[in-house]
Structure 1
Amino acid sequence: MSGKSIRISRRLLVATALAAPVLQSRVARASGEVIVRTPGGVYDDIMRRHVYDPFTRETGITVRPVAATTAKLFAMFRANNVELDLIDTGNGQLITLERMGALAPIAYDSWRWSKPEDITPELRKRTQVANFVYCTVLAYNKETFANGHPNSWAEFWDAGRFPGPRMLADMAAGSPNLEFALLADSVPKNQIYPIDIDRALRSLSRIRPHIRRFWDTGALSAQMLSDREVVLGSIWNGRLQTLIDRNAPLAYTWNEHMIQVQALGIFKDAANVAGAQRLIDFMMQPHVQAGYAKELIYGPTNEKAFSLLSPEEIARMPGGERSRQTGFYQDVSWWEDNRDRVNRAWSRWVMR
């Protein structure tokens, strides 16, 4: 063997030795841990009680939740440096990731704990499956409106009949409330999409003098209602229900609420695709969904879970039969197709 060959062989041995711990670590994690992107905070505590710890006891696979922004998810895939297995996020972000070719198909045919046919059909997609639904509702202060409250977005827009400072969602919250602006402008629920952006902004211009602030986080919307900075506003139902359960003088109407979806997807290049598939299967079980939906105050997507909840619990959740009759699903495909266009129009409008 030549001296050059010996040097190359030595470099190869050193490189292999250095790479071995990384490869061994990846293989070990692939078999023993699932890393999940989650919203974080209290959400992780609830999911650990009802999903992660029971899953670990059942399978021996640990679950590690981590926080990651949408931008980070996109960057991971583009850089071919996927650090997560399962993605727990809004279904709009998953649509974008699917279009990028980042997601693996959901292995419905290998489910053994759950039955795919029990999942609400429109929430069961090729590369994502919804784990719960939440909604944006019209909230009001009961003391301010003791003699009658708005029961529609047209009445929310009627500041003469229902005076007081209001709030609506900002673009930074995910999407501004263009749907509610169209409902206030007499557009029927089944004709909201495709959204007429100019018409929605004209409608918003009429109520804008009464908008104290456009909120960009769920925490801010809850604080504004709690502090009575506003007496009317759009807000996610879970955030509002937490305040109501703490005896805040607040209430809401289910009429014309917008149903939104939290869903699960799997990076196709994840270290533990198989473990992530098993975790989804486990999470979709009726009794598991009933447990975390009850605490989150969001609606299960396994139809069999509703039978495990009391009528009082179901009354607090979106997604059931009554909810589908009085509300509407946000069209996230339209939003992902038009987000940049809305963002430009919103930025111009909000600066006027």
Structure 2
Amino acid sequence: MNDPMIGRRSLLRGAGGLAALAALPSLSACGTGTSRAASGGGKGGSKTVIVRDSGGAFGEALQKAVYTPFTKETGISVQVTNLQGTQMLAQIKQGRPQFDLINNSMMDHAKFVGQGALETLDLDRIKSLKSAKLPEHLVTDHSVAASFYAQCMAYRTDAFGGRKPQSWADFWDTKAFKGARSMCNPEADLPELEFALMADGVPMDKLYPLDVDRAFKVLTRLRSDVKKFWDSGPLPGMLLSRQEVTMSTVWHGRLADLLKQGVPVAAQLNGARRQYQGFGIAKGAAHVDAAYQLIDYSLRPEVLANLATAYPTNPASPVAYTKITDEVRNKLAGAPQYYDKGFDADLDWWIKNEAAVTKRWLEWARG
């Protein structure tokens, strides 16, 4: 799975699953994933940093906007691996990680911290934190956020006679907004309990702790209208473009390709759920200094802006948006006019409850 939004799914569900996995023998025989090295000249080409990222189109954008210019500036070669979470943990537990820097979700970083798998960061070595002006909650002792993705609703603009759904209550209203729906399977992302609660009138700033019983009651009201629970990033767009559904939850960045193809779709960012991804240094990393230098470079507002221009990801730095063209910025969920319409997923709540909620969701979906 080479999708930037699904790095968190490369790990077992819940901290308990990680603990059990970490006790297993080495998984290095599973392979180290695909690798690529940054090209370009620069000083001191013998220096290296090995980064784990999720690959795919996002990995290509990282190569273009971050790794290659970093190498040209510093002379540090960037090698990339697409290891899955279980493989990373096994290597770290053996004290021989074949990577230095981990680009992954902040939720997975938090789970790794619980396994003692990340180095404690010396934030004074990340000079760009000052210029990036990251919100305090996105800078932890073991990881720093670089970007986020937004999960929201998408709808066909030709389906409702010119009317536009404005809220999750509209998503649930299949009389006023007719047609089938699609929502995500936990194989794709966190169960969408927050959306159900907002559809039932819970204010966005009062969602947590989630009322799980209430959320499942609301989900049940829509269950018969859900044609497909999507388990991969492209699927919502396929269902919308084939007119199999009129509305779906979706990773917002996925709509860019549909719009380029002329598919009549739009996003509604009211009540969008944000999840952040960023950097952590593997415990026992061999190239710690180079890892710090790459983090520092990656968090420069102008570099984050370049990455957002190359791929529809949303910088965690508010300063980066001032360095993006109006055309690009207005298509991002993180643009100033959209940001306050969404909310951050409560990672502490989800880490404690994800396994139980996912188990219940799977039982609920089977009927």
TM-score between the two structures when normalised by the length of structure 2:
0.84
Matched, 1:289 2:304: yes
| Structure-2 separation of matches of 1:89 and 1:178 | 23
Q: Which residue number corresponds to residue 294 of structure 2? A: 279
**Equivalent of 1:107 in 122, 141, 149:** 122
Report how many residues are paired: 323
Show the counterpart of 1:258.
273
Rounded to whole Å, the distance in 2 between the matches of 1:227 and 1:81 is 48
Deviates further, 163-172 or 298-307: 298-307
Choose which of 206, 209, 222 in structure 2 pairs with 1:194: 209
Contact 2:132 2:301 in 1 (8 A): no
Amino acid in the other structure paired with 1:258? R
Aligned to 1:340: 355
Higher deviation after alignment, 240-249 or 196-205: 240-249
Q: 2:132, 2:300 within 8 Å by CA — same for their partners in 1? A: no
Query: Residues 138 and 239 (structure 1 numbering): CA distance in 2 closer, same or farther, change over 3 Å?
Result: same
Residue deviations 1:158-217, cap 9 Å, x none? 111111111011111121111101111111111111111121111111001110111111
State the partner residue of 2:56.
41
The 4+ residue runs of structure 1 with deviation greater than 4 A are: none
| 8 Å CA contact 2:151, 2:251 repeated in 1 | yes
Take 2:359 and 2:128, find their aligned partners in 1: how far apart are those partners?
45
Match in the other structure for 1:173: 188
Partner residue of 1:313?
Answer: 328
User: How is 1:185-264 mapped onto 2 (pairs within 5 angstroms)?
Assistant: 185-264=200-279
For 1:227 and 1:329, how far apart are their aligned partners in 2?
31
Matched residue, 2:32: none
Match of 2:156 in 1: 141
Structure ID, larger Rg: 1
* Inter-partner Cα distance in structure 2 for 1:275 and 1:51: 14
Q: What is the correspondence of 1:22-33 to structure 2 with a 5 Å cutoff?
A: 32-33=47-48
CA–CA distance in 1 between the matches of 2:354 and 2:268? 28
| Offset, 1:116 | 5.9
Map of 1:98 onto structure 2: 113
Compared CA separation, residues 116 and 268, structure 1 to 2 (3 A): farther
SS at match of 2:315: coil
Matched residue of 1:323: which SS?
A: helix
Aligned to 1:304: 319
Deviation string, structure 1 residues 38-59 (Cα, Å, up to 9, x no partner) = 1111111111111101111111
Secondary structure, in 3 states, of the residue corresponding to 1:96?
A: helix
The share of aligned pairs that are identical, in percent, is: 34
Equivalent residue letter for 1:270:
A
Q: For residue 111 of structure 1, report the CA deviation from its aligned partner.
A: 3.0
The aligned amino acid for 2:214 is R
**Whole-Å separation in 2 of the counterparts to 1:279 and 1:130:** 14
Is the 1:55–1:61 Cα contact (8 Å) retained in structure 2?
yes
* Structure 2, unpaired ranges of 5+: 1-44
Runs (5+) with no aligned partner, structure 1? 1-29
User: Alpha-carbon deviation of 1:72?
Assistant: 2.3
- Deviation sequence 1:280-299 (CA, Å, 0-9, x none): 00001111110111222222
Shift of 1:117: 6.0
CA distance in 1, matches of 2:52, 2:238: 26
* Residue equivalent to 1:27: none
Shift of 1:112: 4.2
1:125 to 140, 147, 157: 140
Separation in 2, partners of 1:153, 1:135: 15
Cα distance in 2 for partners of 1:113, 1:329 equals: 23
Preserved CA contact (<8 Å) 2:160 2:178: no
TM-score by length of 1: 0.87
Write the distance in 2 (CA, Å) between the matches of 1:120 and 1:170.
30
Post-superposition CA distance 1:212-237 (Å, at most 9, x none)? 11111112222222222222011011
Shift of 1:310: 2.5
**1 or 2, which has the higher helix percentage?**
1
Does residue 80 of structure 2 align to residue 71 of structure 1? no
Question: Is the CA contact (8 Å cut-off) linking 1:108 and 1:116 kept in structure 2?
Answer: no
